[in-house]
Amino acid sequence: MENLVVLGATGSIGTNTLDVVGRNAEKFYAHTLVANTNVEKMLALCVKHKPKIAHMVCEASALKLQKRLTSSSDIEVTTGVDNLIAHVTSNSIDTVMAAIVGAAGLIPTYEAVKAGKKILLANKESLVMSGRLFMEAARASGSVILPVDSEHNAIFQCLPEQVQSELGHCNLASHGISHVLLTGSGGPFLTREISTFTDITPEQACKHPNWSMGQKISVDSATMMNKGLEYIEAKWLFNTSPKQLQVVIHPQSVIHSMVQYRDGSVVAQMGNPDMRTPIAHCLSYPKRISSGVEPLDFFKVGQLSFSEPDYERFPCLKLAIEACEQGQEATTVLNAANEIAVAAFLENKIAFTDIAKVNQACMSGVVKSQLDTIGDIIELDIEARIMAQAEIDKLLKGH
Ligand code: NAD
Ligand code: MG
What is the distance between the alpha carbons of residues 153 and 23, in angstroms, rounded to a whole number? 21
Ligand nearest to the CA of 273: 1
Question: Pocket of ligand 1, candidates 217, 233, 282: which has the most ligand atoms within 8 Å of its Cβ, to mutate?
Answer: 217
Q: Is the pLDDT of residue 273 over 90?
A: yes
Contacts of 23 by beta carbon, 8 Å cutoff, 6+ apart: 289, 290, 291, 292
pLDDT for residue 399:
67
Is 88 a member of any domain?
A: yes
Is 40 a member of any domain?
A: yes
Structural domain including 105 reads 2-143
What is the distance between the alpha carbons of residues 317 and 334, in angstroms, rounded to a whole number? 11
Is 71 a member of any domain?
A: yes
Q: Closest ligand 1 atom to the C-alpha of 37? A: 11
pLDDT per position as a tens digit, 41-97: 999 999 999 999 999 999 999 999 999 998 778 999 999 999 999 999 999 999 999
pLDDT for residue 202:
97
333: amino acid identity, one letter = V
% of the chain surpassing 70 pLDDT: 100
Contacts of 379 by beta carbon, 8 Å cutoff, 6+ apart: none
We report the CATH number of the domain holding residue 97 as: 3.40.50.720
Is 222 a member of any domain?
A: no
Residue 9 Cβ < 6 Å to ligand 1: yes
Ligand nearest to the CA of 123: 1
Ligand nearest to the CA of 12: 1
Question: How much distance in Å is there from the Cα of 132 to the middle of ligand 1?
Answer: 22
pTM greater than the 0.85 cutoff:
yes
Mean of all residue pLDDT scores within the chain: 97
Question: How much distance in Å is there from the Cα of 397 to the middle of ligand 2?
Answer: 35
Question: How much distance in Å is there from the Cα of 60 to the middle of ligand 2?
Answer: 33
**Strand order, beta sheet including 177-184:** 245-249, 177-184, 255-261, 266-270
Ligand nearest to the CA of 247: 2
Residue 217 Cβ < 6 Å to ligand 1: yes
Number of domains into which the chain is organized: 1
Q: Is the pLDDT of residue 368 over 90?
A: no
Is 64 a member of any domain?
A: yes
Question: Pocket of ligand 1, candidates 100, 150, 153, 382: which has the most ligand atoms within 8 Å of its Cβ, to mutate?
Answer: 100
pLDDT per position as a tens digit, 159-208: 999 999 999 999 999 999 999 999 999 999 999 999 999 999 999 999 98
pLDDT for residue 193:
98
pLDDT for residue 71:
73
Residue 125 Cβ < 6 Å to ligand 1: yes
Residue 79 Cβ < 6 Å to ligand 1: no
